[in-house]
Every structure is written in C-alpha cells, then in structure tokens.
C-alpha cells in the first residue's frame, strides 16, 4: 500500500477517549500515522486565536455556541502551526470519521493530480449541488470543483497558502468553521473536492451541543441576518462572481441550470435523492 508522506493532524477532545480509539483503528487500518491535536474546550481559545471569537472582556463576540468556538479555534491553531512550521500539505481530521482501507493510496493519487493553485481540498463533503469534474483519481473518485461548496470539516487537505488566506479573513468569526470554509469569496482558500467523498463524517453524536449550556443556546437565538449567518444579496453576488471566475462561464451556466432543475424537482417531490452524484455532474 502506498501512503503519502504528509502530516496528519487529528483533532480530539481530551475527554473523548473512545473517539480517539476509534480513529486510531481507522487510521491504522489505512496504514496512516497521525498526530493527535488536543481540541480547544468550549470558548477557552488560546491567546493566539482568541481575537477571532472573543471581545476584550472574554465574552463571545458573535452568535456562535461555545462548542462551535472551540471547534473553530482548534482548526485555526492547526492552520497557525502550518504557517509557523512551514509544513506544506497537511491532512486535517476530526474524530468522528469512517475511512476507506485504500485512503492512503487515494491521497497519493489526489496529490499528484492537484492543480498548482489548490489551497484546500474537501474529502468528507457530499455535494448537494452541481459540480465540474477535473480529473479521475481511481476507485470511482474524481477531483472536482463545486458550484456550491458543501459544508463539513471532517477531513480536508490544506496547504500554507490556504491556511494563510483563512487566517487573514474577517474578525470576529460569526459562523461555524464549516460555514466559513465554504465561502472562498469571503475567506480566500481556492477550493476543490473529491466526489464521491471518500470519508464518511459525523458518525457519532455531536459534542458541540453537549458543551453548550441550555440558557446560552436560548439567549443566542438571534435573526441570521444579524449574526452574519446568511449571505444576503451581496453575498450571493460574490458567490456568483467567484463561480464564474473559477468554473468558467459555460460550466457555471450549466451548473446553474442543473441546480435550478433539481430545486424545482425537489419542491415537487418534497424531497430529493442527493446521493445520486451522477445527476449533479456537469461537463
């Protein structure tokens, strides 16, 4: 089995020993060595990343839950380390994943096919909208560009340029980390993905909500437009401009028609089968 010689960082809370054991088994079966990175507990963000979330008094400066702040801060600490240690491509994993046995060889194939401008590659993100295939990776997988980047931070590759762009984004951060990473028109990283996604995520119950006190969850139910969790007209225009630039006018229009047709179909059927990736593929 051929495996990549890149750092692999696994984010894991100190108390989640069962999750760590599970991921040790998953990575061991794939023949991959990793380094455990202790996850940030709640809103106890270290000084280096606290300014992304907290006001001078130490209170959360947005509508994020404490668990969301901890999750976000954990990813930012890894991005800071990538820059500080000049690590190059890094695989970032959360601790609730299922990995294929050939994951290592898939990563080798992926790294060989990536375009020079890549900065982040999503590996656990089932697309819900049209995408454009770029290269065949083997095992039925393709390297793609999305018309709408799906959220999820279970598994992704990121390099120094991507980490630098994401760290340079606006502060305070008002959305969860997976929501911000799917907005490259605001946060910068040039994004690619793999379809079907090789990694299955969220196989355990979320620990974010378990860290949140009931009264905080109720207190922070503010309109999305006030918390910055909705794009609004300007955000939609930035997204359209980004897609036209990275996909090209022809593929973007075909993706737009695909997405519109599926949206109309879902409304008629009340639900849609989004696991049919062939229906989302646009040449």
Kindly list the structural domains of the chain, giving each domain's residue range(s) and its CATH number in brackets, ordered by start: 8-267+275-279 (3.90.550)
Backbone angles phi, psi at 173, to 5 degrees: -80, 130
35-38 and 8-12: which strand pairing?
Answer: parallel
Give, for 120, the enclosing helix (H) or strand (E): strand 120-122
- pLDDT value, residue 143: 98
Quick check: 187 and 114 in contact, CB under 8 A? no
Cβ contact 216:65 at 8 Å: yes
Nearest alpha-carbon partner for 208 in 76, 99, 70: 70
Give residue 47's pLDDT: 86
Report pLDDT for 273. Answer: 53
pLDDT of residue 265: 74
What is the pLDDT, as a whole number, of residue 166?
A: 96
Task: With beta carbons less than 8 A apart as the criterion, state whether 156 and 197 touch.
Answer: no
Give how far Cα 82 sits from Cα of 32, 122, 157, 269, 276, Å: 19, 17, 12, 46, 36
List the one residue out of 121, 82, 113 whose CA is nearest residue 199: 121
Q: What is the pLDDT of residue 212?
A: 54
pLDDT of residue 268: 57
Helices (H), the chain: 17-29, 47-50, 66-85, 103-113, 160-167, 177-181, 184-187, 214-219, 224-227, 232-247, 249-269
Six-digit token string for 257: 């028609």
Segments of the chain scoring below 50 in pLDDT: 213-228
pTM value surpassing 0.85: yes
Starting at the edge strand found earlier in the chain, the sheet holding 120-122 runs 35-38, 8-12, 90-93, 155-158, 120-122, 191-195, 141-146, 131-138
3-state class (DSSP) for residue 134: strand
| Model pLDDT, residue 43 | 86
CA-based end-to-end distance of the chain: 32
Supply the pLDDT for residue 57.
87
42, 72 Cβ separation under 8 angstroms: no
Pair 114, 210: CB distance under 8 Å? no
């Amino acid at each position: 089995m051929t495996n990549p010689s890149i750092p692999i960082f696994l984010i894991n809370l100190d108390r989640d020993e069962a999750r760590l054991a599970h991921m040790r088994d998953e990575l061991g079966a794939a023949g991959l060595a990793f380094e455990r990175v202790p996850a940030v507990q709640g809103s106890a963000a270290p000084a280096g990343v606290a300014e992304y979330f907290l006001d001078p008094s130490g209170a959360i400066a947005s509508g994020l839950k404490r668990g969301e702040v901890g999750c976000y801060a954990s990813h930012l600490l890894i991005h800071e380390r990538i820059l500080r240690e000049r690590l190059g491509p890094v695989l970032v994993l959360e601790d609730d994943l299922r990995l294929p046995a050939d994951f290592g060889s898939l990563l080798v194939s992926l790294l060989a096919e990536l375009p020079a401008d890549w900065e982040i590659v999503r590996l656990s993100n089932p697309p819900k909208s049209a995408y454009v295939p770029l290269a065949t990776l083997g095992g039925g997988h393709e390297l793609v560009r999305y018309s709408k980047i799906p959220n999820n931070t279970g598994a992704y590759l990121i390099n120094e340029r991507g980490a630098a762009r994401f760290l340079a984004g606006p502060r305070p951060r008002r959305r969860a980390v997976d929501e911000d990473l799917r907005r490259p028109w605001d946060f910068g990283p040039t994004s690619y993905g793999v379809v079907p996604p090789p990694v299955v995520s969220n196989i355990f119950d979320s620990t974010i909500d378990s860290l949140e006190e009931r009264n905080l969850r109720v207190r922070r139910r503010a309109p999305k437009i006030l918390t910055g969790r909705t794009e609004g007209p300007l955000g939609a225009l930035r997204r359209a401009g980004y897609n036209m630039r990275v996909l090209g006018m022809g593929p973007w229009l075909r993706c737009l028609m695909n997405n519109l047709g599926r949206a109309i179909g879902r409304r008629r059927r009340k639900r849609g089968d989004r696991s049919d990736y062939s229906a989302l593929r646009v040449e």
